[in-house]
């Protein structure tokens, strides 16, 4: 059951990454330069309170600068695809 849920969630994240890639590609073609949506911008659009306030209490300043800041600047499509693939691999059936 857990394997099914991991694969199911992984496929949804993979599909979301593909949608984000298509949207970024469309924007890039329209503007004649490479554009991508950072994870932080997408998170801010979805979340009312923002991730920064939630993680400020959990991570010290050095942890925030070294881990969360580069992750929030990563392309949304790449993050979703990588997490989706990891979940699919974790949920695969053993040989």
| 90 HSE (CA, 13 A, CB side) | 14
Residue 93's pLDDT is: 83
Q: Are residues 12 and 30 in the same domain?
A: yes
Q: Whole-number mean pLDDT of the chain?
A: 86
Q: Are residues 85 and 69 in the same domain?
A: no
Q: Are residues 43 and 62 in the same domain?
A: yes
**Number of domains, the chain:** 2
Which residues, including other chains, have CB under 8 Å from residue 91's CB and lie 6 or more apart? 2, 3, 4, 5, 6, 7, 8, 10
Q: Degrees (nearest 5) of the Cα angle 13, 76, 86? A: 40
Residue 71's pLDDT is: 85
Q: Over the stretch 27-54, which tens digit does the pLDDT of each residue have?
A: 999 999 999 999 988 888 887 666 655 5
Q: What is the pTM of this model?
A: 0.81
Residue 5's pLDDT is: 94
Full residue range of the structural domain in which residue 10 is found: 1-37+77-95
């Amino acid at each position: 059951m857990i394997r099914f849920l991991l694969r199911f969630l992984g496929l949804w994240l993979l599909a979301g990454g593909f949608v984000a890639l298509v949207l970024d590609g469309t924007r890039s073609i329209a503007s004649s330069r490479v554009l991508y949506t950072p994870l932080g911008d997408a998170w801010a659009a979805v979340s009312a309170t923002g991730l920064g306030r939630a993680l400020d209490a959990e991570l010290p300043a050095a942890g925030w600068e070294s881990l969360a800041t580069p992750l929030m600047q990563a392309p949304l499509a790449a993050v979703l695809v990588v997490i989706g693939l990891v979940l699919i691999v974790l949920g695969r059936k053993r040989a």
